[in-house]
A and B are shown apart, each in its own frame.
Chain A
Amino acid sequence: MDFNDTPEQAQFRNTCREWLEKNAEPKSNKKKEDFADIEFLDVAREWQKKKYDAGWAMLHWPKEYGGIAASPIERIIWAEEESKFNVPRGIFEIGLGMCGPVMMEYASDEQKERYLPAMAEGTEIWCQLFSEPSAGSDVAGLRSKAVQDGDNWIINGQKVWTSGAHFCDYGILVVRHDPNLEKHKGMTFFFVDMKSPGIEVKPIKQITGGSSFNEVYFTDVVIPDSQRLGAIGDGWKVAITTLMNERLAVGDANGADVKEAFNWAKKQDDSGESLINNRATRESIADWYCEANGLKNTKLRTMSALSKGETPGPEASITKIVSANKLQDIGNFGIDSLDMAGMLRTDDNEIQSFQNAWLGAPGLRIAGGTDEILKNIISERVLGLPQDKRSDKGMPFKDIPSGN
């Protein structure tokens, strides 16, 4: 066992760092942008293009799609180094983290050539059209319909919570082609041009006041059969591949973490003393440090397993449970440290990061698998506990109770 870089890894890290130092600004306490929102689209694209030209955008991808065929460990090293710089992230996460791998696995060679480089370069952005009003945790409960019509499919229905749909060019889509089959058998998977006639995107306002997700309506939208990913009826299998990747891609919560809490506590006033001298603060920081490092080291172990050719297991679910809840607690800590002034919006970047953590964390605890679903996955798939009794098992989809 060795948590240090091997000489080759150290050299790779150096190469990453040198390039980053030349092309980006290091993070500082003063200015911290989240860049995840549409207003940063141009900045984000510019950064993505720069990375792409240098081979960093999707470094683990093969050369023909714009990568450098980097190993999983090298990918981690790059991510670690990049995270030390004040660069846009977020906008491409779903496309590159989920849509990319699915296209890589299921699209034809011509399609890969056509779509993957543009995706990596940031010229085309992708979204994930899975959830529906009555199918979130239970994605397989989706109802949007696909009807075959010669070489085409006609899609009707509604998706919801689609992050980024308002600025995305393409999306991956799972729909029901046969409601008479059992629910997991009646689904088929496609990718779709978001500019297709019949697609209507309506932004949803979130509790933060922003709108990063949307309702997406499909009215007689035509998708060529060539854009089907996987066989007819294999929609669930393809979706599961995506969701496994989602857990790796979404993973760590963005935002105020133990380092921010620690630096803040050192300068914040607590009845005339420094807040870091407060015993309760010290305990919280110790707890968050253990969590943050536990996650970091778990990720390194997962990556070691990956680099030996093992597939990521359901244990990757741990990351989001821990980091989203930690984010919520750290947000609360920051707000509480201001006492009666805790609700005030100020120009101070650190204070904003705590308030944004507090406002955004509830969404992270839900997006990409809720806390409860992730815990079910751990208990059933890792610990091998008996599955919940499935009242819809074996039923044709159309007969499953839905409350309406």
Chain B
Amino acid sequence: MNLDFSDDQKFLQSEARKFLEKEGSINRSRKVLEEKHNTDQDLWNKIVELGWTGIRIPEEYDGLGLGYLELCVVAEELGRFLAPVPFSSSVYLFTEAIIKYANEDVKKEILPKLVSGEIVGTLAVTEDLFAPTISNIKTTSENNIVNGKKIAVADAEIATHSIVVSNSSSGICLRLVDHSSDTVSIEHQDTIDESRGHFSIEYKNSPSILIGDESNGWEFYENLLNQAAVLFSFEQIGGSQASLDMATSYAKERYAFGRQIGSFQAIKHKLADMYVAITLAKSNTYYAAWALSTESSDLSVASATARVSSTKAYQLCSKENIQTHGGNGFTWEYDCHLYYKRSKLLSVNIGSLPNWKEKLVSSLEKSNTY
């Protein structure tokens, strides 16, 4: 047994950390948030140059041909530094959909361009102010033509393509749509965390290419979410750890009643609770990474476990980081709110905590874990 990353993977992680630190990723995130830029194009270009968009793409399509574990370590750093880039949309969701479900022609066309950065993708699912399910998708696709409106699509503006979860006469299917078509209109939507842009996308008779088959799209979509949940969990752990680090150093610097606030047991226990939550989440997420990298049949239970515990950890750490900072924590100037907002964004981006808890128990029922 060895529930740890290899030396090479750890090296990649420390390089990623150095890079994002040097690039001032957290300040860039603040800037995107304040100036409503939706994304940081320059940082994204540099990330593409480093080859991270091609980590999982096989060498025959110009990628690095590495595994999920390499993606996991990068995800943790992107989360720690609040990177304001479309990585999760394009890499964890879109690229994986192409790798797993697209036919050879599409792969040849799309994958090399994902590596080079010419193509950026996102996944368009939600249509209304409640959770999407297999029975409430209204966007249609008939004869390769997509019609409908999606909302809350992350990174849609920088994205050149989207994969659309749509309803056809034979069932739910995934459809690839090129945003350069004038049948596609994309509009910014205000959110409570503008450090990553969200948009509505309207498809009016938009030409599309089928990804996978006509009827099993919902299953594909769920598989994609299960995989992505592991990577989201790594981002959430990175953010949780950054929140705890911030709180810990503040607790050492800040004085009240003639002593460091970190000498009060209330603060010690608060930080210890954060540490405990992160440790459990991290261990569950490492396990899920292993399940993902070995295509274990246990993936749906493992990824939901990782997702639930890392969502809870990030929510706890980001709100208690504010609390530890007292009045300063409630100001725009301190970074605490950037983590608080990102934690909520990540927690709803691929489905909310209650829904992942539900998914976890349903998966348990289907598995032979107990």
Contacts and interface: CB of A to CB of B under 8 A. Distances in A.
Partners in one complex: yes
B264 A339 contact: no
Contacts of B354: 278, 280, 336-337
Interface in A168-212: 204-207, 209
Interface in A340-393: 340-346, 348, 351, 355, 358-359, 362-363, 365-367, 370-372, 375-376, 388, 390-392
B202 to A, nearest CB: 16
B157 to A, nearest CB: 15
Given A204-B332, A339-B351, 12 more contacts: A160-B327, A269-B131, A272-B133, A336-B354, A340-B348, A343-B345, A362-B323, A366-B322, A372-B270, A388-B264, A390-B257, A404-B255
Contacts of B135: 272
A136 B326 contact: yes
A395 B258 CA distance: 10
A144 interface: no
A375 B254 contact: no
Given A206-B332, A280-B354, A339 B253 contact: no
Interface of A: 131, 134-138, 141, 160-161, 204-207, 209, 268-272, 278, 280, 328, 332, 335-346, 348, 351, 355, 358-359, 362-363, 365-367, 370-372, 375-376, 388, 390-392, 395, 400-404
Interface string B174-193: 00000000000000011111
A245 to B, nearest CB: 20
A370 B323 contact: yes
Contacts, number: 169
24 contacts: A131-B327, A136-B326, A137-B257, A141-B256, A141-B258, A207-B340, A272-B136, A332-B315, A336-B348, A339-B352, A341-B348, A343-B344, A344-B189, A345-B189, A348-B129, A366-B322, A366-B327, A372-B264, A372-B270, A372-B323, A388-B264, A391-B258, A400-B258, A404-B255
B253 A403 contact: yes
B323 A340 contact: no
Contact of B326 (A278, A346, A370, A388): A370
A14 B264 CA distance: 50
| Secondary structure of the B contact surface, majority rule | mixed
B337 to A, nearest CB: 4
A66 B190 CA distance: 46
Contacts of A340: 125-126, 131-132, 152, 348-352
B319 A328 contact: yes
Given A131-B327, A344-B198, A366-B326, A338 B255 contact: no
A269 B353 CA distance: 16
B168 to A, nearest CB: 20
Contacts of B333: 204-205
A345 B192 contact: yes
Contacts of B152: 340-341, 343-344
Interface in B314-370: 315, 319, 322-323, 326-327, 329-333, 336-337, 340-341, 344-345, 347-355, 357
